C-alpha cells in the first residue's frame, strides 16, 4: 500500500500528547510494514528527521515550504492545495490529528483525540477558538473516509456533537511506551539526582490549561499538607506564566515547577513519585496516569468515563472539582491505605501497546484505501 501521512503535527511542542501519539504510531506503522511506501508531508524550518530504524525502508519525505502557517492560511482561505497533489500518488492519506486538510480525491483517515473545543469552548482562548472555527472539524470529518477515535468516549462524542455514524468510527486506544514498563531503580535514581527532587513527591505531568484543573490540585495539596501530608508536589510539562502565577499565589514552598522534560527522563520521574495526579474535567485519552501505572506508581484521577475505560479499577478516582475529597485521598495514599495492587495495573495496561495500536490503525487505513 502507498500511504501518505500529514506529519505537520510532529512540529507541535515537545511532550504534548498529540505530538507523542503521531511520533509513536508512525514509527510502529513503518516498523510493522516496511514493504509499504510511506510518503510523509512536512513543513517548517526544521524538517522532521526519521527515526534511525526508518533508514533503508521505503520512507519518503516531502518538504513543502518553510512555513506551516502560510500553508494553513492558503488552505483556510482557498481550500488549496489538495495535500495529495503535494505527494506522489497514494492509496490513502492519514492525518494523526485535526488540522487544515484538503485530502483531494484520496481517501482520508483522521484521528480525533477529544472534542473539548466543542464541549467546553469557554476554556479556550479566543485565538484557539478561532483556529478550530477555521479548521471546521465537522466538515473535515464528514469528508473523511474513516475516523479513528482514541477512546470510546471520544467516539460517543463524535456521534453526539457531529452526528457521525458509529460505523464510520473505529476506536483505537493509544499505546504506552515500553520504557515505562521496563524502568529500573537506577533510572529513577538518575532522574532524582538530575532534577534534585525532594525525598517524597506527588507528580502532575501535562500542559497547564483549564481542563487540567491545576487550581483544584494546588488547593487540595494545601489541605492535605495541613492534615499531615509530608510529600511535596512536582508539576512537570509546562512553564507558562499562568502556572508560575498560580504557584506564586499559593505561597507554598512545597510546590516545584519542572517544566518540559525529555521523554527519556519521564519513566524515572514517574517511578520515584508517590503518585501521579490528574484531575482533569475532560480527557480524550490521558497518558500520564497510564504511564505512571506502567512504572508501578499509583494514579489518582477524576471520575471520568475515559479513565474507567482505559484503567478500570486500577486507578483511584475522586469526584470532579472536589479539593476536599482529593486532599483526603492524598492523605490516605501516604498512610498506605490506598496503595494500588500492581497486578491490577498490569491487567489494565496489557493491551495498551503501540504494536496493538498500529495493527488496528493499519486495518483502518487498508479499509479506507479499498
* Residues 24-41: tens digit of each pLDDT: 999 999 999 989 999 998
Q: To which residue does cell 495514599 refer?
A: 333
Give the pLDDT of residue 15: 43
Higher confidence at residue 15 or residue 106?
Answer: 106
Q: Choose between 4 and 69: higher pLDDT.
A: 4
The pLDDT-based confidence of 81 (bands split at 50, 70, 90) is confident
Q: What is the model's pLDDT at position 147?
A: 98
Confidence of residue 337 (pLDDT cuts 50, 70, 90): very low
* Element spanning 40, H or E: strand 37-42
- Smallest CA-to-CA distance from 292 within 282, 307, 281, 309 is with 307
- pLDDT of 341 higher than 60: no
State the chain's mean pLDDT as an integer.
88
The stretch 93-122 carries a mean pLDDT of 92
92 pLDDT band, cuts 50/70/90, is very high
Average pLDDT over residues 256-285: 92
For the chain, give the percent of residues with pLDDT over 70: 90
Grouping H, G, I as helix, E, B as strand and the rest as coil, residue 147 is strand
Query: Region 148-171: what's the mean pLDDT?
Result: 96
Residue spans of beta strands (DSSP E) within 232-323: 232-236, 255-259, 275-278, 299-302, 316-318
Residue 343: predicted pLDDT: 57
Q: Is the pLDDT score of 349 beyond 80?
A: no
pLDDT of residue 8: 84
Closest by alpha carbon to 180, among 255, 271, 247?
Answer: 271
Q: Which helix (H) or strand (E) holds 38?
A: strand 37-42
Q: What is the mean pLDDT of residues 292-318?
A: 91
* Residue 51 pLDDT class (50, 70, 90 cuts): low
The pLDDT value given to residue 134:
86
**Cβ partners under 8 Å of residue 136, min gap 6:** none
Question: For residue 48, what pLDDT is reported?
Answer: 63
From 8-17, 97-106, 230-239, the region with the lowest mean pLDDT? 8-17
Q: Which of 29-43, 69-83, 306-320 has the weakest average pLDDT?
A: 69-83
CA 263 to mean position of chain CA atoms: 13
pLDDT value at position 46?
A: 59
Percent of the chain exceeding pLDDT 90 equals 58
Amino acid at each position: 500500500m502507498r500511504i501518505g501521512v500529514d506529519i505537520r503535527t510532529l512540529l507541535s511542542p515537545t511532550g504534548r500528547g498529540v505530538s507523542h501519539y503521531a511520533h509513536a504510531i508512525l514509527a510502529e506503522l513503518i516498523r510493522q510494514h516496511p514493504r509499504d511506501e510511506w510518503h510523509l508531508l512536512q513543513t517548517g524550518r526544521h524538517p522532521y528527521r526519521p527515526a534511525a530504524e526508518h533508514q533503508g525502508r521505503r520512507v519518503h519525505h516531502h518538504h513543502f515550504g518553510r512555513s506551516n502557517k502560510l500553508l494553513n492560511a492558503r488552505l483556510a482561505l482557498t481550500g488549496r492545495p489538495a495535500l495529495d497533489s503535494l505527494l506522489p500518488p497514494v492509496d490513502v492519506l492519514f492525518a494523526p490529528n485535526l488540522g487544515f486538510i484538503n485530502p483531494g480525491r484520496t481517501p482520508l483517515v483522521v484521528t480525533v483525540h477529544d472534542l473539548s473545543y466543542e464541549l467546553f469552548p469557554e476554556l479556550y482562548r479566543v485565538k484557539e477558538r478561532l483556529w478550530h472555527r477555521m479548521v471546521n472539524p465537522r466538515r473535515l470529518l464528514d469528508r473523511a473516509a474513516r475516523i479513528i477515535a482514541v477512546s470510546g468516549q471520544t467516539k460517543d462524542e463524535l456521534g453526539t456533537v457531529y452526528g457521525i455514524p458509529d460505523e464510520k468510527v473505529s476506536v483505537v486506544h493509544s499505546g504506552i511506551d515500553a520504557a515505562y514498563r521496563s524502568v529500573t531503580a537506577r533510572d529513577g535514581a538518575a532522574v532524582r539526582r538530575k532534577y534534585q527532587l525532594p525525598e517524597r513527591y506527588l507528580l502532575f505531568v501535562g500542559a497547564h490549561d483549564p481542563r487540567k484543573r491545576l487550581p483544584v490540585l494546588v488547593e487540595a495539596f494545601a489541605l492535605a499538607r495541613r492534615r499531615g501530608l509530608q510529600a511535596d508536589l512536582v508539576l512537570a510539562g509546562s512553564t507558562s506564566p499562568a502556572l508560575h502565577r498560580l504557584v506564586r499565589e499559593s505561597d507554598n514552598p512545597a510546590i516545584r515547577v519542572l517544566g518540559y522534560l525529555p521523554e527519556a527522563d519521564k519513566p524515572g520521574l514517574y517511578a520515584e513519585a508517590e503518585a501521579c495526579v490528574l484531575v482533569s474535567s475532560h480527557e480524550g485519552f490521558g497518558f500520564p496516569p497510564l504511564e505512571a501505572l506502567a512504572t508501578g506508581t499509583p494514579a489518582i484521577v477524576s471520575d471520568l468515563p475515559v479513565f474507567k475505560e482505559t484503567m478500570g479499577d486500577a486507578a483511584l478516582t475522586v469526584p470532579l472539582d472536589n479539593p476536599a475529597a482529593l486532599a483526603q485521598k492524598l492523605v490516605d495514599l501516604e498512610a498506605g491505605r490506598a496503595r494500588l495492587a500492581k497486578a491490577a495495573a498490569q491487567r489494565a495496561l496489557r493491551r495498551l501497546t503501540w504494536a496493538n495500536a498500529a495493527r488496528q490503525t493499519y486495518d483502518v487505513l487498508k479499509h479506507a484505501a479499498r
